[in-house]
Amino acid sequence: MSCIFRHYYAKTRYTDDFIKVRNFLIRINEESLATVNYPFGRWEWMNSLENHPKETMEKIGLWEEAGIIVGIAVFESELGDTWIITDPSYTHLKREMLEYTIKNMEGPNGLRLSINRNDLELQALATEYQFIPTDYHEPDSFIEISEIPDYTLPDGFSLVSLKDRYDIRQYNRVLWRGFNHPGEEINDEATLQARIQSISGPDVHLELNMAAVAPNGNFVSYCGMWHIPGTKYALVEPVATDPEYRKMGLGKAVVIEGIKRCGKAGAKYAFVGSRQEFYYRIGFKPYSANTFWMKSK
């Protein structure tokens, strides 16, 4: 049978197509992490974090054989930054997918294509179509969960999962402060609803998402984890610590506890889209990296 192209169906947020793409990303990464830069967790985070217009979501291209997705052309935060992802047996689709991307997925700032440094085939195609590599990279690091160290907490501090303490205001507070936003956090209805949405996806397991709690009861460090029980890989995203509580081992503690819980649910490896020394001190090692290639005008 030949492959059939169609557009993503985006009538509601978590459509059947959402599940199909999610299953595709799980399937192609189960034996070896083929798309470390765009695992299922990134796809679900993209859908849960953003309110993309229907007409924008329907720019996502799907290639199927016998109703099974074998390739996707997808963006994340906005049109313009694009990933081309194929089943390893369908790499011959890359030229067609690149041509589709050029015609349909340019954003307000042009078109950038994220290409893994080991994907020489896509690099060659991108060069043929007048893309050039930029100095913007997305690195990834990994750790074998069997090698994860222990942690200790300062006196008076504790860890809690969002399942055990579902406190959206505290969740909002730690992310606001942890990502260095100025002033006090915004707690209006729209902001809190967006935070609820970000942890309401079909594959969010709140017992894996950990917060460090200060003696005054505030969340002061946080680690989100993306893992489907029984699968090999877990993704660390996001991680944030209140500036007033950094260098106390709290970030290390929430990351390690979240990863350990994924290990108990079947994960063998954890990945993070970073090469910060913070992760290396935990035991992460460099794994791979994608480079963004820009379409020449």
Q: pLDDT by residue (tens digit) across 109-129? A: 999 999 999 999 999 999 999
> Alpha-carbon distance 155 to 248, whole Å?
11
Nearest to 291 by CA among 184, 108, 137: 137
Query: Is 97 in contact with 84 (CB distance < 8 Å)?
Result: yes
Amino acid (1-letter code) at residue 150: D
Please say if the pLDDT value at position 268 is more than 60.
yes
Nearest to 199 by CA among 159, 160, 226, 234: 226
> Alpha-carbon distance 191 to 185, whole Å?
10
> Alpha-carbon distance 237 to 247, whole Å?
19
In this prediction, residue 36 carries a pLDDT of: 83
Distances (CA, A) of 241 to 58, 147, 156: 36, 24, 17
Nearest to 104 by CA among 154, 55, 59: 59
Percent of the chain having pLDDT more than 90? Answer: 87
Please say if the pLDDT value at position 297 is more than 80.
no
In this prediction, residue 76 carries a pLDDT of: 87
What confidence tens digit (pLDDT) does each residue in 65-108 have? Answer: 999 999 999 998 889 999 999 999 999 999 999 999 999 999 99
* 3-state secondary structure string across 180-246: CCCCCCCCCHHHHHHHHHHCCCCCCCHHHCEEEECCCCCEEEEEEEECCCCCCEEEEEEEEECHHHC
Handedness of CA 239, 243, 245, 248 (dihedral sign): positive
In this prediction, residue 1 carries a pLDDT of: 56
Complete domains list, the chain, with CATH: 4-129 (3.40.630.30), 144-287 (3.40.630.30)
In this prediction, residue 193 carries a pLDDT of: 95
Mean of pLDDT values over 132-140: 95
In this prediction, residue 261 carries a pLDDT of: 98
In this prediction, residue 92 carries a pLDDT of: 96
The per-residue pLDDT of the chain, averaged, comes to 95
Please say if the pLDDT value at position 50 is more than 80.
no
> Alpha-carbon distance 193 to 201, whole Å?
13
Query: Is 189 in contact with 200 (CB distance < 8 Å)?
Result: no
- Give the total residue count for the chain: 297
Nearest to 18 by CA among 53, 48, 51: 48
In this prediction, residue 269 carries a pLDDT of: 95
Distances (CA, A) of 50 to 44, 147, 189: 10, 35, 16
